[in-house]
Amino acid sequence: MKRLMSIVAVILVFAVPALALSDAEYLRMKKSSADFAAADKFLSDAYNNVKNVMSRSEFASVKEEQREWIKSGRDEAARAFMNEGYSKIEAYTKATEERAEELYHIFQMYMK
């Protein structure tokens, strides 16, 4: 059993980077999917709205959060959607929409 767990752990370590969205694939998805492009624009707009209403010091944590989301959170969220049966592009679109909604919520809360 211990050996099986070790094998599974090794497989997961090598499988996780394979899902990571490369810059080239991101650009292909933006060009080939109107839905992904719209989600990406929504994310960009939400991020910029938050950036424009916060001071630099307040925004620093949001900026770091966004970097972490791009680095690993986006892939984790997309993986969860793919496990539900979504295609890769649909999964990344949904993950991007969810992150944009989170940022938009931060913007709304800040404006109150």
Whole-model pTM? 0.81
Length of the chain: 112
Tens of pLDDT along the chain (112 residues) come to 555 444 444 444 444 445 688 999 999 999 999 999 999 999 999 999 999 999 999 999 999 999 999 999 999 999 999 999 999 999 999 999 999 999 999 999 988 8
- What six digits make up the tokens of 23? 């810059």
Positive/negative CA dihedral, 18, 20, 23, 26: positive
Domain ranges of the chain: 21-111
Residue 59 contacts residue 50 (beta carbons within 8 Å): yes
Backbone angles phi, psi at 93, to 5 degrees: -65, -50
Residue type, 40: D
